[in-house]
Structure 1
């Protein structure tokens, strides 16, 4: 099965967040770094629906998994 490529901004839209480049940078700057011992969906910056979406994307290796991995990496940098 072919997985579509989702742009980083589309992930932010899916999460109900502002998705322009400046807003994405502000979000990452505000919430990074997430400690390694905290799973991405368990970070305090997500509401319940956002956390569930991220969990499903990771657990089910959904078509969002690659861009969620990019988000995870971005939020781990300090």
Structure 2
């Protein structure tokens, strides 16, 4: 079975966030840089369900883990 490739925008849709390019850029600009000592899913700007989704996808679903890691890196980059 081939792995499913998810787009970065698909993760935003899964999180219930606007997933068009300007909205994604705005979200990252608003919340970056995330401090090194804060795990992505523990960031204060997530709802409980968003944090759980990130936690679950990173641990349980390798297909989603790639884009979750991309989001993590994007939020750690200097604004």
TM-score class, shorter:
over 0.9
TM norm structure 1: 0.94
Q: State the match for 1:13 in structure 2.
A: 13
* Count of aligned pairs: 78
Offset of 1:61 from its aligned partner?
Answer: 4.0
Output the aligned Cα RMSD: 1.1
* Aligned ranges 1:19-38 → 2 under 5 Å: 19-38=19-38
TM norm structure 2: 0.92
Runs of at least 5 residues in structure 2 that lack an aligned partner in the other structure = none
Q: In the aligned structure 1, how far is the partner of 2:43 from the partner of 2:4?
A: 26
Runs of at least 5 residues in structure 1 that lack an aligned partner in the other structure = none
Q: In the aligned structure 1, how far is the partner of 2:42 from the partner of 2:33?
A: 13
Q: State the 4+ residue runs in structure 1 displaced beyond 2 angstroms.
A: none
- Please say if residues 32 and 77 of structure 1, whose CA atoms lie closer than 8 Å, have aligned partners that are also in contact: yes
Higher helix share: 2
